[in-house]
Structure 1
């Protein structure tokens, strides 16, 4: 009879997230992961097989806990106008940096890293970023300013905003640039003020 695992997999993935968030996929060493997760090498390999599989679990976990939460705020029908929802996403980014959080975004860090050469990791990153982009586009659908925009124009605006968001998150992780991160919502406002077509 197999012995039951002495740890909760979900807790272990959450602890691994913190290690990968701090160090990134490439620089998170096995000793760092074992210490951060509080596991032995055998337990980690038995539960997750290898570092890459653990990272894929972490990306899934991050999508559920962070991306889905952001998308829920962007698509909340009881919330304010869609433009305001989007601006709050960007002002939240500025606030996090002001509060000392320079971790950026796990997906954004991965998107800018060499791990994107792995097809499975790249697919997970693209899926999470596409979900965020779709949330932005859904907010544009209920934006008074954008109600006359064609679907393709809203899609283009959502792509521009996602690009801005990813870039700002990468800058946050890199220590930022004075005036850029602090003005994240103002920069988003400029994109949102673009004319259709």
Structure 2
């Protein structure tokens, strides 16, 4: 008779996600995962197959979580500028108690050049963020908040590039004030 799971799968997946997010794929050992997730090695293999599959599921978990938070923040915004400020704050400051940076940016830098599946997941996630930025910029252009000197798609690509840089810099000892100055200037460029 098979034993029933003595853990909630999403709860342990969240723990694995945070560990991969903080340390990266290659630095995270199975022993680290066992200790951090609080379940037996056999349970990890039975539930998630192997470390790579667990990592890919953790990436999916991160994407779903981030998409939901970004969508909720934008939806609650009264103006496009407020929505864009929310996105920049969320991306550059992160969440209280969460690892620094972005799991997708970190994973792309670490693995995308040699792992097609990680590359594909990162590209899709980046495209989603760009599409959200297109929607916010278009909203701001329609309302006269943002310049229409450039197409919304071009501005979204520019903004996404800035956000990606901010998420990389957020993992370093760069002062938070510098990240804030970059965010402010990047947003001001839209208004000219």
What TM-score does the superposition give when structure 2 sets the normalisation length? Answer: 0.86
Aligned position for 2:129: 132
The alignment partner of 1:26 has SS state of coil
Is this contact kept in 2: 1:102–1:175, CA < 8 A? no
Cα deviation, residue 137, structure 1 = 1.0
Aligned position for 2:6: 6
Is this contact kept in 2: 1:83–1:192, CA < 8 A? no
What TM-score does the superposition give when structure 1 sets the normalisation length? Answer: 0.84
Cα deviation, residue 111, structure 1 = 2.0
Cα deviation, residue 131, structure 1 = 1.1
Q: How far apart, CA to CA, are the structure 1 residues paired with 2:128 and 2:119?
A: 14
Q: How far apart, CA to CA, are the structure 2 residues paired with 1:172 and 1:10?
A: 27
Matched, 1:153 2:151: yes
The alignment partner of 1:107 has SS state of helix
Cα RMSD for the two superposed structures: 2.5
The count of aligned residue pairs is: 190
Cα deviation, residue 135, structure 1 = 1.0
Matched, 1:108 2:88: no
**Structure 2: tracts of 5 or more residues without a match:** none
Q: How far apart, CA to CA, are the structure 1 residues paired with 2:91 and 2:34?
A: 30
Deviates more, 1:64-73 or 1:30-39: 64-73
Aligned position for 1:85: 83
Is this contact kept in 2: 1:91–1:184, CA < 8 A? no
Higher relative contact order (CA 8 A, sep 6+): 1
Q: How far apart, CA to CA, are the structure 1 residues paired with 2:36 and 2:24?
A: 14
